[in-house]
Amino acid sequence: MPEITLIEGIRQAMDEELARDERVFIVGEDVGRRGGVFRATQGLYEKYGPERVIDSPLAELSIVGVGIGAALYGMRPICEIQFADFIHPAFNQIVNEAAKMCYRSNGEWTAPMVIRAPYGGGIGGGLYHSQSVEAFFAHVPGLKVVVPSNPYDAKGLLKAAVRDPNPVLYLEPKKGYRLIRGAVPEDEEVLVPIGKARVSREGRDLSLFAYGMMHHYSLQAAQQVAAEGIEVEVVDLRTLNPLDRETVLGSVRKTGKALIVYEDNLTGGYGAEIAALLAEQAFTDLDAPVRRLAGPDVPAVPYSRPLQDWFMPNAEKIAAAIRELDAY
């Protein structure tokens, strides 16, 4: 199988869904002739035209609002938010409209739409181009939240999201766009079910839960400590809402220890939900306190490269946390 990058997997998914279903269209800032600020939609405007790859005004509220209206009338919009940092003007549309549409109408109306948003730090983007927003939205019933960590899942999860009858927030770890490569088959359709985690590395000593770019670093850390005799089971959550509780609990019941890694601020981050689940349903299986490794509680990722490195979890920090937890 040929290897492609994460962003190529995303582009292939959109290309295939545009070709498969004439109801699918893309709307967002600079997604047309320019192909998006990260070139995720490169070539799609030329292939499908301006009525299906639509350049929007600089108005995230309107991008999502247009998507909701189109979805209610049978279309399948893919709304691109240029950076997750800019998604907040659309918060009301996502939380109070898209996520509640099916519930408020007793199932008569649904909003089958995808909201794509590059998230996370590590690219020198500073305060307004590095934020992790998943915890805000994973809290919302009616909204699915997925985060791919490799090209295969990036393609398969996005295709599944486009076909889902409910709104899906699809968060893309932008640092991994061209850094992460992986094999994706060319001669078969790639679909990854929403709501299923994946054990990406088997282990016996502790369970490590991560998603997006942090899953990539977690695998590197697990490889480091394996040389020291510590066997880490790495679980790629892939879907934050709905969470695959069965896989999470099953892993901890096997290993007895849990480390949760995410790059958002520690307090109130998504890892707290995993920790609560383990405390409530796997307490007697634990041989050590649940450990979180996350970003510090400062307002945002700094511009300064040394301070950015201080903020961001990486393979070395994860390996150090693994050693501490293993020794408990």
H/E run at residue 171 = strand 168-173
**Do the domains spanning 3-183 and 198-326 agree at the CATH topology level?**
yes
What letter represents residue 283's amino acid? F
- Whether the full predicted model's pTM is greater than 0.95, yes or no, is yes
Residue 1, pLDDT above cutoff 90: no
List the one residue out of 38, 72, 74, 34 whose CA is nearest residue 53: 34
For 286-301, write each residue's pLDDT tens digit: 999 999 999 999 999 9
What are the residues facing 221 on neighbouring strands? Answer: none
**Does the pLDDT at position 9 exceed 90?**
yes
Q: What is residue 315's predicted lDDT score, i.e. its pLDDT?
A: 98
CATH number of 3-183: 3.40.50.970
The radius of gyration of the chain from alpha carbons, rounded to an integer in Å, stands at: 19
- Each residue's pLDDT tens digit, 207-246: 999 999 999 999 999 999 999 999 999 999 999 999 999 9
| Percent of the chain residues topping a pLDDT of 90 | 99
Report d(CA 8, CA 178) in Å as an integer: 8
Model pLDDT, residue 34: 96
Greatest extent of the chain over all pairs of C-alpha atoms, in Å:
59
Task: Find the DSSP H helices in 125-167.
Answer: 134-138, 151-163
Catalytic (active site) residue 215: no
Q: What's the average model confidence in pLDDT over 54-70? A: 97
- Pairing relation of β-strands 232-236 and 53-55? unpaired
Locate 127 and state its tokens. 């305060």
| Mean pLDDT, rounded, for 262-290 | 97
The active-site residue out of 129, 139, 215, 216 is 129
Quick one: average pLDDT of 163-168? 97
What CATH number should be reported for the domain whose range is 198-326? 3.40.50.920
CA distance 236 to 214: 9
Model pLDDT, residue 277? 98
pLDDT band at 91 (very low <50, low <70, confident <90, very high): very high
% of residues, the chain, pLDDT over 70:
100
Please report the pLDDT score of residue 201 as a whole number. Answer: 98
Mean pLDDT of the chain: 97
All structural domains of the chain with their residue ranges: 3-183, 198-326
